Amino acid sequence: MACISLDGKPTESGKKLLLAAAVPRTPEEVAAEAQLPLFRVRSGLRELSEAGLVKDEQGKYGLTESGKGVLKKLEASP
């Protein structure tokens, strides 16, 4: 499950993870909020972290400034 498409934009699952990480959460909490399996959430968070959109702080993932900007654009688009 890729969270970032080849053009650099979040996929549908990536959008769900970004929305769930708008408030710092553990991977388990992100999985529950996004309604995705934990193993997919862990790999997705790793991918989003490598892209600089989320960061791990003491076991909780939250949005970076870049992630907040991407989420704002996603919420504004139809």
Kindly report the CA angle at 11 between 7 and 14, in degrees rounded to 5?
Answer: 120
Domain presence at residue 3: no
- Judged by phi (left if over 0) then psi (alpha if -120 to 50, else beta), residue 77 lies in beta
Please write the tens of the pLDDT for every residue from 33-65.
999 999 999 999 999 999 999 999 999 999 999
CATH number at residue 17: 1.10.10.10
With 0-12 / 13-18 / 19 or more C-beta atoms within 10 angstroms meaning exposed / middle / buried, residue 37 is: exposed
Tell me the C-alpha distance between 38 and 32, whole Å: 8
Provide the number of structural domains found in the chain: 1
Domain presence at residue 6: no
Domain presence at residue 71: yes
Please write the tens of the pLDDT for every residue from 4-38.
888 888 999 999 999 999 999 999 999 999 999 99
Domain with 49, as residue range(s), is 12-76
Domain presence at residue 2: no
Task: Tell me how far the alpha carbon of residue 36 is from its chain's centroid.
Answer: 12
